[in-house]
Amino acid sequence: MASPTVKPVLRTDYQRSVADYWNKEKDPVNIKLGEVDGLYHHHYGLGQYDPAVLQAPPEARDAAIIAEMHRLETAQAEVLLDAFGDVPFGGRLMDGGSGRGGTSFMAHARFGARVDGVSISEQQVAFANAQARERGVQDEVRFHFKNMLDTGFDTGSFTGIWTNETTMYVDLQQLYGEFARLIAPGGRYVCITGCYNDLTGGRSRAVSQIDQHYICNIHARSEYFRALADNGFVPISVVDLTQDTIPYWELRQQSSVATGVEDPFLTAYKEGSFHYLLIVADRI
């Protein structure tokens, strides 16, 4: 019998360029925030910031702003995980585009579930696995150099999957086809994403600037619901988080770790051409 064809993890020039970006990425906006408590995130924040951090004395101000941004990013991951409700004991979760592992460690701490994170960046996988060893959870939280469009994990082997700001790097039909295969019937998919508003036309200039900054391809809002329905996922909750993420960007804009992408985000959110959405959908 012919041995199964193992597809390479990186299959296109585009995927190689994305992997290259994340393999090299050591931006203070992510590293300094992670150093606050050892949870390294690659997503944005939710909720109001404490305005007192902006009035802190000069020698303490920078650290106070960074700690506050980190608190809002951790709050974002809590909102994502809340959407799973109670994952049954022994459940297994997958983090699609797991970055340096922040949301995966929070999921394991909260649910006691086994978590498998996948990333096309070998550096991120190595970083996150080192974190897992440091935390003593390496048997339960594992990170894999895999492509989330084609993971090779067993069919029906997950209770749930989330993507935390990663879907703008992939084709949604392919992604949800693979997730439909991986999630057992009755399992849940949770997504936080930025998507452009196709009620107001195509990509605005600000949305294109965000795409350019991260080498991503932000999808239209409608594409999510079409691709989910086409692949057997039924939304149970959709929450527009746009207003709740604006304070994070306003704080970030005034921080020492601003990267230049703050203006396009604030413009896109405020003009209404872009939304920050939580989508929760069950696998039928």
The H or E element containing residue 178 is helix 172-182
Instruction: Tell which positions 245-264 bind ligand GPP, by CB under 6 A.
Output: 259, 261
Packing angle, helices 172-182 and 221-230, rounded to 10: 40
The least distance separating ligand GPP from the CB of residue 25, rounded to whole angstroms, comes to 7
Q: Which does 259 bind (CB under 5 to 8 A by kind): ligand GPP, Mg ion, none?
A: ligand GPP
The least distance separating ligand GPP from the CB of residue 259, rounded to whole angstroms, comes to 5
30 binds Mg ion (CB under 5 A): yes
Interstrand relation of 114-119 and 141-145 (parallel, antiparallel or unpaired): parallel
- Closer to ligand GPP by Cβ: residue 178 or 262: 262
The least distance separating Mg ion from the CB of residue 258, rounded to whole angstroms, comes to 11
What are the CB-based long-range contacts (under 8 Å, 24+) for 10-17? 10/120, 10/147, 11/147, 14/215, 15/120, 15/147, 17/215
- Closer to ligand GPP by Cβ: residue 111 or 196: 196
Neighbours of 189 (CB within 10 A): 28
21-60 footprint of ligand GPP as x/- string (CB under 6 A): ------x-xx-----------xx-----------------
CA distance 144 to 159: 18
Residue of 140, 224, 151, 214 lying closest to 189 (CA atoms): 224
Q: Contacting ligand GPP (CB under 6 A), which of 80, 107, 218, 251?
A: 218
111: left (phi over 0), alpha (psi -120 to 50) or beta: alpha
- Closer to Mg ion by Cβ: residue 43 or 181: 43
- Closer to Mg ion by Cβ: residue 74 or 147: 74
Interstrand relation of 92-96 and 158-164 (parallel, antiparallel or unpaired): parallel
CA distance 81 to 104: 10
Residue of 123, 67, 74 lying closest to 102 (CA atoms): 74
Q: Which does 261 bind (CB under 5 to 8 A by kind): Mg ion, ligand GPP, none?
A: ligand GPP
Q: What is the edge-to-edge ordering of all strands in the sheet holding 158-164?
A: 141-145, 114-119, 92-96, 158-164, 183-196, 274-283, 233-240
The least distance separating Mg ion from the CB of residue 6, rounded to whole angstroms, comes to 33
124 binds Mg ion (CB under 5 A): no
Stretch binding ligand GPP (CB under 6 A), from 7-15, 74-82, 144-152, 213-221: 213-221
92 binds ligand GPP (CB under 6 A): no
Q: Which does 194 bind (CB under 5 to 8 A by kind): Mg ion, ligand GPP, none?
A: ligand GPP
Q: Which does 27 bind (CB under 5 to 8 A by kind): Mg ion, ligand GPP, none?
A: ligand GPP
- Closer to ligand GPP by Cβ: residue 129 or 245: 245
Interface with Mg ion by CB under 5 A: which residues? Answer: 29-30
Interface with ligand GPP by CB under 6 A: which residues? Answer: 27, 29-30, 42-43, 165, 168, 194, 210, 214, 216, 218, 259, 261
